Amino acid sequence: MSKIKTAFFCNKCGYESAKWSGKCPSCGEWNTFTQEVIHKETKGGKAAPWQADDAPTPGKKTVLIQDVNASQQPRFSTGDAEMDRVLGGGIVPGSVVLVAGEPGIGKSTLFLQLGLQMNDVTTLYISGEESQQQIKMRADRLKATPNDFYLLTETNTQTIFSEIKKLKPQLLIVDSIQTLESPYIDSAAGSISQIKECAAELQRFAKETNTPVFLIGHITKDGNIAGPKILEHMVDTVLQFEGDRHYTYRILRTLKNRFGSTAELGIYEMTDLGMRAVSNPSEILISQKEHHLSGSAIAATMEGMRPLLIEVQALVTQSVYGTPQRTVSGFDLRRLQLLLAVLEKRGGFQFGMKDVFLNIAGGLRVEDPSIDLAVVVALLSSYDDTAVPTNVCFAGEVGLNGEVRAVNRVDQRIAEAARLGFDKIFISRFHTKGLGKHADIEVVPVAGVDEVYRALF
C-alpha cells in the first residue's frame, strides 16, 4: 500500500505547507491552517479520465515564436448581447470561465437560461446542488425550447468524465465547482485540495478537447471567491455576479479576462421569465420625479466601455447627536469624507456638525472618480435646500484643491447625455481642446467647484 500523504492548507489564501503554522506566511492570518489528505492514486502517465485507454498521447514539441499561428481564436455567440460583451465578443473554444456571486443572486438561473437558448450547441449542465426535477421546474419557468441540452446530477469527477466521453458536448456548465469531488483526493468536497484537483482536471479537459467550460462558484462572507486563490489563476476568465437582492437589477463584472477587456460589464433585470438583458440602463437608473427636490444630481459615468447616467442622492441635516453621521450606499465612505473636507476647506461650508447621507439610486456601486462632481453638487443642493435643474448632468473628478479634473471618454458621456434629452453638462475646462462638436447639448467647462456653485445656486 502506498503511504498516505497529508499537507496543511490556509483557509484564507490556499497556501500549502508541509507542517502546521500559527500564522500564514502568505496572507498573514492566524489559526487558518487545516490538515488535509492529498494522496493521489494515479501517477506516472495514466490517461486522463475523459480519454479512452487506447487514445494516443498528444505530441509536444518546442517551436519558434515566429512559427506560432497568431490568428485570432474563433468565438461563437451565446445569444445574449450582455454576456457576449462581458466575455469580449463571445465564447472562446477551450476557455475556462469562473462565475461567482452571492447565494440567490441568480447565477444558476442565468447560465441555465444561457444553455437553453443555445440551440445549435450541444450543452451538458452538471449540477451537484439540485436534482433533475428542480432544474426542469426552473427550465419550464424560463419557457425555453432547447434541442441539445442535457442534464447530469453528479459530484464524482470520474463519473462525470465517463458521461462526457459518451456525449462529447460542445459546452460544459458546472454548478458548482465546490460540490465536485475527485476520487483521487481523500478529503471532503469543497476543501482546498478537492477544489484545486477538480478545477485542474476540468482545465486539462477544456484545453485538450477545445471545449469551453463554465464553472459556477461560491463566495465567502467577506465577498471573496471561496477556495484557494490559485483557482482564479487557473481559469481564463473570472466574472463577478453582483447586485442587491432587494433590487431587480444584477451586474455581471469582469475581474479577469485573457481574451478581452476587464473593463466590461453586463446589466440584467430579474423577471419571472429569468434574466432579461438591459440594453439601455440609463433610463432605468434615473428616477422619475414629479417635483423638483433638493439633494439630487445626475452623473455621467462610465462602466467599462459603456456610458451610464445615474442619479446621486444626498441628504444633509443638522446633527442632533454628539458625533455627526456619515452614511453611504453604493459609494466609498472615505471618498465622501474627502469631498466634505474639500467643501469645508475650500468653500467654507460647515459640514462638521451635520449628518450626511449619500445614496446611488438603483442599488449600484460606482467607483468611477468622475462621479465626484455630481456628489458635490448633490451635497450643496441639500445643504442649501435648493433643487438642481433636472436637465443638467455632471462629469468631473474633484481634487483636493477644489479643482475639477479631467476624466476619460468625455465625448461618449456627452453623447449619452444628449441622447437622453439633457440640455446641459458640466465638465472640466481641460477637456475643451480635444473635444468634439455636440450641437444637441450645451457643454459648460468649469475649473473649480466654486464656478459650479455660482452657476447653479
- Residue 102: pLDDT above 70? yes
- Asked whether residue 102 is marked as a ligand-binding residue, the answer is yes
Q: Are residues 269 and 352 in the same domain?
A: no
In a domain, 426, yes or no: yes
Q: Are residues 314 and 424 in the same domain?
A: yes
- Residue 71: pLDDT above 80? no
- What's the pLDDT at 282? 77
Q: Are residues 218 and 313 in the same domain?
A: no
Q: Are residues 139 and 100 in the same domain?
A: yes
- Residue 45: pLDDT above 50? no
Q: Which residue has the higher pLDDT, 160 or 190?
A: 160
Dig out the grid coordinates for 13 from the structure: 489564501
Q: Are residues 307 and 266 in the same domain?
A: no
pLDDT band at 353 (very low <50, low <70, confident <90, very high): confident
In a domain, 63, yes or no: no
- Asked whether residue 103 is marked as a ligand-binding residue, the answer is yes
Mean pLDDT of 209-236: 88
In a domain, 54, yes or no: no
- Asked whether residue 91 is marked as a ligand-binding residue, the answer is no
- What's the pLDDT at 313? 94
- What's the pLDDT at 155? 93
- Asked whether residue 5 is marked as a ligand-binding residue, the answer is no
3-state secondary structure the chain: CCCCCEEEEECCCCCEECCCCCECCCCCCECCEEEEECCCCCCCCCCCCCCCCCCCCCCCCCCCHHHCCCCCCCCECCCCHHHHHHHCCCECCCCEEEEEECCCCCHHHHHHHHHHHCCCCCEEEEECCCCHHHHHHHHHHHCCCCCCEEEEECCEHHHHHHHHHHHCCCEEEEECHHHCECCCCCCCCCCHHHHHHHHHHHHHHHHHHCCCEEEEECECCCCCECCCCHHHHHCCEEEEEECCCCCCEEEEEEEEECCCCCCCEEEEEEECCEEEECCCCHHHHCCCCCCCCECEEEEEEEECCEEEEEEEEEEEEECCCCCCCEEEECCCHHHHHHHHHHHHHHHCCCCCCEEEEEEECCCCCCCCHHHHHHHHHHHHHHHHCCECCCCEEECCEECCCCEEECCCCHHHHHHHHHHCCCCEEEEEHHHCCCCCCCCCCEEEEECEHHHHHHHHC
- What's the pLDDT at 38? 67
- What's the pLDDT at 58? 56
- Asked whether residue 107 is marked as a ligand-binding residue, the answer is yes
- Residue 369: pLDDT above 70? yes
Q: Are residues 165 and 224 in the same domain?
A: yes
In a domain, 111, yes or no: yes
- Asked whether residue 207 is marked as a ligand-binding residue, the answer is no
Mean pLDDT of 6-17: 81
- Residue 365: pLDDT above 50? yes
Which domain range does residue 15 map to?
Answer: 1-39
- Asked whether residue 106 is marked as a ligand-binding residue, the answer is yes
**Percentage of residues of the chain with pLDDT beyond 90:** 47
In a domain, 357, yes or no: yes
- Residue 108: pLDDT above 70? yes
Domain containing residue 354: CATH number: 3.30.230.10
Mean pLDDT of 345-362: 90
pLDDT tens, 406-441? 998 898 899 889 988 899 999 999 876 667 777 789
In the block, which residue shows the cell 479576462?
257
Residue 407: phi and psi, rounded to 5, are -125, 165
- What's the pLDDT at 54? 46
Residue pair 413/307 in contact (Cβ under 8 Å)? The answer is: yes
Q: Are residues 298 and 421 in the same domain?
A: yes
Q: Are residues 345 and 447 in the same domain?
A: yes
Mean pLDDT of 130-153: 90
Q: Are residues 407 and 334 in the same domain?
A: yes
Domain containing residue 81: CATH number: 3.40.50.300
Q: Render the burial of 321-357: b for 16+ CB within 10 Å, e for the rest.
A: eeebebebebbeeebbeebbebbeebbebebeebbbb
Kindly tell me the burial class for residue 310, based on how many C-beta atoms sit within 10 Å of its own C-beta (0-12, 13-18, 19 or more).
buried
Q: Across all residues in the chain, what is the average pLDDT?
A: 86
pLDDT tens, 245-294? 667 788 888 999 998 888 788 888 888 888 888 877 776 677 666 567 89
In a domain, 427, yes or no: yes
- Residue 177: pLDDT above 60? yes
- pTM: predicted TM-score of the whole model, two decimal places: 0.77
pLDDT band at 2 (very low <50, low <70, confident <90, very high): low
- What's the pLDDT at 192? 84
- What's the pLDDT at 14? 76
Structural domains in the chain (count): 3
CA dist., res. 349 & res. 351, Å (int): 6
pLDDT tens, 293-351? 899 999 999 877 788 899 999 999 998 877 899 999 989 999 999 999 999 998 889 99
In a domain, 206, yes or no: yes
pLDDT band at 44 (very low <50, low <70, confident <90, very high): very low
pLDDT band at 127 (very low <50, low <70, confident <90, very high): very high
Mean pLDDT of 51-57: 51
Q: Are residues 314 and 408 in the same domain?
A: yes
- Residue 47: pLDDT above 70? no
- Asked whether residue 330 is marked as a ligand-binding residue, the answer is no
